[in-house]
């Protein structure tokens, strides 16, 4: 079944993915999402379903987010780390009445499932690949209103359409996910598209998440640790992926050490590109300060207000006052995107007290 966005009027296919890039005016789509609501086709995401009475406590034991108290219709994000605290998997977690649904980027579900399957041991849980599910997302200040027709008993609503609210950091307003079975995907798209202010393609989705410092797989590399992405740090209620007060899990030592004693070696920042190049630079392009490489580029995109912007992982000591280049383009770090290192660190303060004592 083709993605529903590609059948919508004016749809332009995304050369990099399986959904629509835009519907004729990507800047108008972004404005609608910023001011009202916009529906995004994210049916290229892949799902894993986890069932069984121990599913919450079992998953809690090796992921970075605190999920044991997730209620049906609540959604969050989480990570699986390796022993050195590097990110192996980044995924969404949505609770239903009798299962957990994990959504991953296209092509990532099989690797995550293989890891989960190895972790079952004697727990009363059953993970499985679940290709029958599909994801739509509504974003914007009026996202909940756009989904009002899907309330139980409303015309057009169908059993099995799960509306799940997911908190997100930044100022982009609400984000509400709609998980449906693939046979119902087109019907769900049409129902929400009618009530949302606009439909929005991958261009607009990427522009809004880059503006809010929310990474995709293209913005990360094999060395990424959680504290290099400030928006990941926090609990379910704040839209984070790493709860700093939960129990032990693989890689937690790195998370705790960086939080209490040190600084991450790099930071995910927002770059402002000068816009003189004919094309936006590609992911993995080196970010340079003079002749020195100081980082790598992730997603670059045209934003309706900010112009050409990008996410980049750069060395922590690179400041907003340093002139950068990305390929043929001049660039600078948006100072508002730099992590705040001014606060006290509990571990450092404790060491200082011991030394003074």
Same fold across 1-263 and 265-338: no
Euclidean distance between CA atoms 198 and 20, whole angstroms: 13
pTM to 2 decimal places: 0.91
Query: Residue 340's pLDDT is what?
Result: 80
Euclidean distance between CA atoms 173 and 60, whole angstroms: 28
Query: Residue 200's pLDDT is what?
Result: 98
β-sheet bridge partners, residue 76: 93
Under the phi-then-psi rule, with left for phi > 0, alpha for psi from -120 to 50, and beta for the rest, what region is 16? alpha
Q: Which residue has the tokens 């987010």?
A: 65
From 51-60, 171-180, 199-208, the region with the lowest mean pLDDT: 171-180
Euclidean distance between CA atoms 166 and 255, whole angstroms: 23
Give the phi and the psi of residue 180 in degrees, each rounded to 5. Answer: -135, 160
Give yes or no for a contact between 178 and 135, defined as CB atoms under 8 angstroms apart: yes
* Choice between 139 and 160, residue whose per-residue pLDDT is larger: 139
Which numeric CATH code is attached to 1-263? 3.30.1360.120
Euclidean distance between CA atoms 325 and 276, whole angstroms: 12
Tell me the average pLDDT of the chain.
90
Residues whose CB is less than 8 angstroms from the CB of residue 121 and which lie 6 or more positions away in sequence, other chains included: none
- Which CATH code of 2.40.30.110, 3.30.450.20, 3.40.50.720, 3.40.140.10 fits the domain covering 265-338? 2.40.30.110
β-sheet bridge partners, residue 237: none
Residue 170: band (very low, low, confident or very high) from pLDDT cuts 50, 70, 90: low
Give yes or no for a contact between 18 and 92, defined as CB atoms under 8 angstroms apart: no
Q: Is pLDDT of 39 > 50?
A: yes
Nearest Cα to Cα of residue 51 among 111, 121, 110, 129 = 129
Question: Where are the domains positioned within the chain?
Answer: 1-263, 265-338
pLDDT tens by residue, 76-96: 999 999 999 999 999 999 999
């Amino acid at each position: 079944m083709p993605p529903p966005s590609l059948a919508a009027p004016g749809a332009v296919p995304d050369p990099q993915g399986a959904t629509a890039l835009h519907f004729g005016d990507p800047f108008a789509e972004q404005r609608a999402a910023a001011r009202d609501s916009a529906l995004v086709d994210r049916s290229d995401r892949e799902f894993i379903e986890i069932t069984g009475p121990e599913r919450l406590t079992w998953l809690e034991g090796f992921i970075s987010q605190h999920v044991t108290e997730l209620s049906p219709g609540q959604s969050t994000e989480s990570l699986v780390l390796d022993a050195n605290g590097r990110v192996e998997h980044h995924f969404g977690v949505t609770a239903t009445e009798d299962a957990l649904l994990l959504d991953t980027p296209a092509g990532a579900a099989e690797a995550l499932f293989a890891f989960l399957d190895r972790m079952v041991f004697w727990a009363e849980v059953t993970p499985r690949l679940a290709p029958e599910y599909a994801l739509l997302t509504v974003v914007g200040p009026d996202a909940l209103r756009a989904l009002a027709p899907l309330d139980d008993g409303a015309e057009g609503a169908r059993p099995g359409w799960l509306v799940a609210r997911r908190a997100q950091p930044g100022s982009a307003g609400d984000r509400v996910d709609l998980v449906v079975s693939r046979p119902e995907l087109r019907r769900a798209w049409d129902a929400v598209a009618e009530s949302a202010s606009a439909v929005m393609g991958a261009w607009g989705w990427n522009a809004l998440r880059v503006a809010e410092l929310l990474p995709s797989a293209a913005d990360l590399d094999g060395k990424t640790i959680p504290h290099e992405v400030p928006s990941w740090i926090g609990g379910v209620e704040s839209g984070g992926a790493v709860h700093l007060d939960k129990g032990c899990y693989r890689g937690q030592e790195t998370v705790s050490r960086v939080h209490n004693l040190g600084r991450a070696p790099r930071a995910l920042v927002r770059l402002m590109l000068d816009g003189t190049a004919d094309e936006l630079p590609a992911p993995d392009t080196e970010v340079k300060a003079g002749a020195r490489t100081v980082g790598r580029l992730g997603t670059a995109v045209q934003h309706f207000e900010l112009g050409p912007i990008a996410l980049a992982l750069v060395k922590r000591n690179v400041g907003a006052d340093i002139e950068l280049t990305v390929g043929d383009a001049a660039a600078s770090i948006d100072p508002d995107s730099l992590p705040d290192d001014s606060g006290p660190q509990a571990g450092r303060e404790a060491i200082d007290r011991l030394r003074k004592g």
